[in-house]
Amino acid sequence: MKYTSIFHPLLFRCALLCLLLYCLPARADGVMARIQETIAKPDMLCGQFEQKKTLVGMKKPLLSSGRFCVAQDKGIVWHATKPFDSTIRITKNEIVQQYQGDTTMRMSTEKEPAIQTINRIIFSLIAGDFSPLETYFNVAPAMTKNNWQVQLSARDAGLRKAIDKVSVAGDQYVKNIQIEEGNGDKTQIVFSAILTGEAAAATREAAMYE
């Protein structure tokens, strides 16, 4: 009967990765307030992504692209079509991975309670409540006209080993995310062709929530 927990920093990293992809940090100062005003908060948002990963010790960068959706009440669909067809679906109750139509991983909230937290953080951030990020990062916002950029740097040494720096930029929507990991690996994601409302709901990815 020992009640001590087994701490899992990995879940943290997972959560952070997720939230970093879609969200930006906030601070109650003028710049952050303006950034928040600028960002649209649709119920559903779909678009294209292009991802470039540069891993230390690898000659070529790894490119992937596809379409994605983020819905307030349903979760996230990340559908890559290149270099191969794969889907990651994060809903309230589970994370499901599919490779060319076959489910390769399914993790439920029941088994891993952190998933719910991950989702909730993402959604709260999309809704414009970015304060949770400040627990882990120093946040530096900047804004010019309708474009903004937010720099995040890990506060904690342990976290710095995993995610050192993150940079998020955009206008009405998040357009660009760069993640630098402690070991030197880099990930860059660029979003484009963003749709909202009915146009978003009509996409193939929107149908994948079911």
Partner 1 sequence: MLIVCVFLGHTIFLFLHDRIHPDSNMLALLPTQNHDPVMQRAFTQMLDAAEQHVVVLVGAEKWEEAVAAADAYTGVIRTQTNLLEINPSMNRDQSEWIALFNDHHLRLLTPDQRKLLETRTSRQWLETSLMKLYSPVGGPKAGAWQDDPFDLFGGWLMNRASETPVRPREGRLFVQEGDRYYILVLMTLKAKAFSLETAEKTMPVLKQAERAARDTAQGAKTDIDVLSTGFLLYAAAGSAQAQKEISIIGLGSLFGVALLLWVTFRTIKSILMIWLSVIVGCIGAVSVCSLIFGQIHMLTLVFGASLLGVAQDYGIFFLCNRAVSNPEEASWSVLRRLLPSMILIFGMTVTGYMMLGFMPFPGLQQMALFSTVGLLFAWMTILCWFPVMARANFTKQRAPWPYYRNLLTKLPALGMNRATLIVALIFVGLAIPGIILLRANDDVRLLQNPPKYLIDDQIKISHLLDMPAAAQFYIVRGNSAEQVLLREEALKDRLGILISRGVISGYQAVSNWIPSRATQMANRDLIKEKLLDNREVLPALATAIGEDAQWVTTMRERITKTDTELTLEQFLSTPISETVRHLWIGNVGDEYASIVLLKNISRKDMPALIALANGMDGVQWVDKVEEISSVLRTYRHYMGWAVLLAYVAVFALLFIRYRKRSWQVIAPTIFAGIGTLGILGLTGQNLQLFTMVGFMLLLGLGVDYGIFWQEKVSGDKGYTWVEIGLCAVTALLSFGLLSLSATPVLHSFGLTLLAGLTLVWLFVPFFGRE
Positions that interact with partner 1 (CB under 8 A) = 1-14, 17-18, 21, 51, 53, 55-60, 62, 64, 76, 78, 80, 83-84, 86, 88, 90, 95, 97, 99-100, 104-105, 107, 111-114, 116-117, 135, 156-158, 161, 181, 183, 185, 187, 189
CA distance 137 to 140: 9
* Least distance between partner 1 and beta carbon 76 (Å): 7
Closer to partner 1 by Cβ: residue 76 or 150: 76
CA distance 168 to 177: 5
Closer to partner 1 by Cβ: residue 149 or 188: 188
Closer to partner 1 by Cβ: residue 13 or 165: 13
* Least distance between partner 1 and beta carbon 28 (Å): 15
CA distance 26 to 41: 15
Closer to partner 1 by Cβ: residue 78 or 130: 78
Closer to partner 1 by Cβ: residue 143 or 161: 161
* Least distance between partner 1 and beta carbon 111 (Å): 6
Residue-wise DSSP of the chain? --------HHHHHHHHHHHHHH-----SSHHHHHHHHHS---SEEEEEEEEEEE-TT-SSPEEEEEEEEEETTTEEEEEEEESS-EEEEE-SSEEEEEETTEEEEEEETTT-THHHHHHHHHHHHHTT--GGGGGTEEEEEEEETTEEEEEEEESSHHHHHHEEEEEEEESSSEEEEEEEETTS-EEEEEEEEEEEHHHHHTSHHHHTT-
Closer to partner 1 by Cβ: residue 117 or 147: 117
* Least distance between partner 1 and beta carbon 132 (Å): 9
Sign of torsion over alpha carbons 116, 166, 141, 42 = negative
* Least distance between partner 1 and beta carbon 78 (Å): 6
* Least distance between partner 1 and beta carbon 146 (Å): 26
